[in-house]
Amino acid sequence: MTVLDASAVLALVHDEPGADLVATHVTGGTLGTANLAEVMGNSLTPTSTLPAFVNYSRRPGW
């Protein structure tokens, strides 16, 4: 099991350096509540939605 940090997920979301490495660990990875809150807090704007997070949260076994 891989535990993901908010900075790693944000690199993936924003296609920053290292995103390709993070992408290899997302499947089967875990993101704690505090890190998820940080990712969402840094990604949301008043008019945005995060369908990718909805899809991940609905995966079987999550």
CB 56 within 8 A of CB 45: no
**5-61 pLDDT, tens per residue?**
999 988 888 888 998 998 888 888 888 889 888 888 887 666 555 555 555 545 555
What angle, 0 to 180 degrees and rounded to 10, lies between the N-to-C axes of helices 6-13 and 19-26?
110
Residue closest to 44 by CA, chosen among 55, 34, 53: 53
pLDDT band at residue 2 under the 50/70/90 scheme = confident
CA atoms within 13 A on the CB side of 15: 0
Q: Indicate the pTM of the whole model.
A: 0.66
